[in-house]
């Protein structure tokens, strides 16, 4: 069988495809999970990413770019909350990247 190794939290492809007789099981403390590929077309989508068999690489699609941008915004929301509640400024680099992330989201 063919499988990919995925990040447990984001379900983004980390590596692969791999071939094995059995789907591997990773220890609970490892950040990976295996996902079997039942068929292997030229492009295979996982979590918005596309695996391109011809180039053996993972390519981002707008879906995965949107997910990454939303994840960054969620992870840095506390800066905005802290600023609102205490008046401590959001660092300029965080503000700039948040603006870039918001602009990159295309529905």
Alpha carbons 49 and 14: distance in angstroms, whole number: 11
Q: 22: helix, coil or strand?
A: coil
User: Which tens digits make up the pLDDT trace of 7-58?
Assistant: 777 777 777 777 778 777 777 777 777 767 655 554 555 567 777 777 777 7
Of 93, 40, 97, 39, the closest CA to residue 71 belongs to 97
Cα 18 to Cα 10: distance, rounded to the nearest angstrom: 20
d(CA 62, CA 107): 9
User: What pLDDT is stored for residue 47 in this prediction?
Assistant: 63
- 72 contacts 104 by C-beta, under 8 angstroms: no
Task: Answer whether residue 99 shows pLDDT above 90.
Answer: yes
Of 73 and 19, more confident:
73
pLDDT at 104: 94
Q: What is the mean pLDDT of the chain?
A: 81
């Amino acid at each position: 069988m063919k499988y990919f190794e995925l990040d447990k939290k984001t379900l983004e492809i980390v590596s692969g495809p791999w071939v094995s007789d059995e789907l591997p099981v990773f220890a609970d403390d490892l950040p990976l999970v295996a996902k079997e590929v039942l068929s292997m077309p030229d492009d295979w989508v996982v979590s918005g990413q596309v695996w391109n068999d011809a180039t053996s690489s993972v390519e981002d699609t707008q879906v995965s770019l949107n997910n990454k941008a939303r994840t960054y915004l969620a992870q840095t929301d506390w800066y905005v909350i802290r600023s609102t509640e205490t008046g401590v400024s959001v660092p300029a680099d965080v503000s700039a990247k948040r603006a870039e992330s918001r602009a990159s989201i295309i529905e």
